Amino acid sequence: MEIITDNAQQTQKLGEKIGRSLSRPEILCLYGDLGSGKTTFLQGLAKGLGIKKRITSPTFVFMKQYQSSFFHVDLYRINNVKEAKGLGLDEIFNNPKAIVAIEWAERIKEILPKKRTDIYFDYVSKNQRKINLSGC
């Protein structure tokens, strides 16, 4: 499924809709440059999961756990798989109740579980983003 959103709110709404329809466990891998809308999408997704807290970019931490076993992972500061070892990813990948969302998932593609959903974000213009969802 490929969608072009015309503003940040539309991207959030898309995330919210998907958040409402997810079943557990789920691993969402988000790919795309800085500013392409990954965190914006996850803010909506969290809302769709019923999470009250606002999702922010975990700047200095790589992983943040929210209520209802939602894990937000941001690998922007990771350069390779080696650096990702020891972050506890194995544990959350094997958590049967978890919803895991990984920004910059391309940085650890060698260790991503096969069973996952890939979401690609592209910058089109100042307010437009192209979002591609595999298997949705």
Residue 50-89 contact track with Mg ion, rule CB under 5 A, x = bound: -------x--------------------------------
Task: Take residue 4 and report the two structure tokens written for it.
Answer: 């072009």
Closest chain position to Mg ion (CB):
39
Q: Which residue is nearest to ligand ADP (CB)?
A: 37
Q: Are 101 and 30 in contact (CB under 8 A)?
A: yes
What residue has token string 């790589």? 62
Q: How far is the CB of 12 from ligand ADP (least distance, A)?
A: 8
Q: Please report which helix (H) or strand (E) contains residue 21, including its range.
A: helix 8-21
| Span between the terminal Cα atoms of the chain, in Å | 6
Q: Which stretch binds ligand ADP (CB under 6 A): 32-40, 63-71, 92-100, 112-120?
A: 32-40
